[in-house]
Amino acid sequence: MKKKTRPVIVVGSDHAGLGLKKYLSSLLEKKGYRVEDVGTHSRASVDYPDFAEKVGREVAGHRGKRGVLACGTGIGASIAANKIPGIRAGLANTPRAARLSREHNNTNVLVLEGRPYRKEKTRAILNSWLGAEFNGGRHRRRINKIARLEKKFRLNPDIHKHK
Domain of residue 60, CATH code: 3.40.1400.10
Average pLDDT of every residue of the chain: 94
SS3 7: coil
Residue 86 domain-assigned (yes or no):
yes
Number of domains the chain contains: 1
The pLDDT score that the predictor gives to residue 48 is 98
- Is the pLDDT confidence value at 2 over 60? no
CB–CB of 97/69 below 8 Å? no
| 15 belongs to the catalytic site | no
- The answer to whether position 109 is within a domain reads yes
Residue 56 has pLDDT above 90, yes or no: yes
Active-site residue among 15, 41, 62, 71?
71
Residue 74 lies inside a defined structural domain of this protein: yes
Residue 1, domain member (yes or no) = no
Answer for the pair 129, 98: CB distance below 8 angstroms, yes or no: yes
pLDDT (average), residues 1-11: 80
Answer yes or no: is pLDDT of 161 > 70. Answer: no
Confidence of residue 160 (pLDDT cuts 50, 70, 90): low
Q: Of residues 15, 41, 62, 104, which has the active-site annotation?
A: 104
Q: Residue 91 is inside which H or E element, if any?
A: strand 89-91
DSSP type of residue 61: T
**Of 22-31, 77-86, 103-112, 145-154, minimum mean pLDDT range:** 145-154
Sign of CA dihedral 57, 90, 122, 15: positive
Mean pLDDT, residues 63-89: 96
Residues of the chain with pLDDT > 70: what percent? 93
Task: With respect to residue 159, please indicate whether it lies within any of the assigned structural domains.
Answer: no
Tell me, yes or no, if 71 is annotated catalytic: yes
CB burial of residue 88 (10 Å; 0-12, 13-18, 19+): buried
Domain that holds residue 61: 8-135
pTM over 0.85, yes/no: yes
Does the pLDDT at position 5 exceed 80?
Answer: no
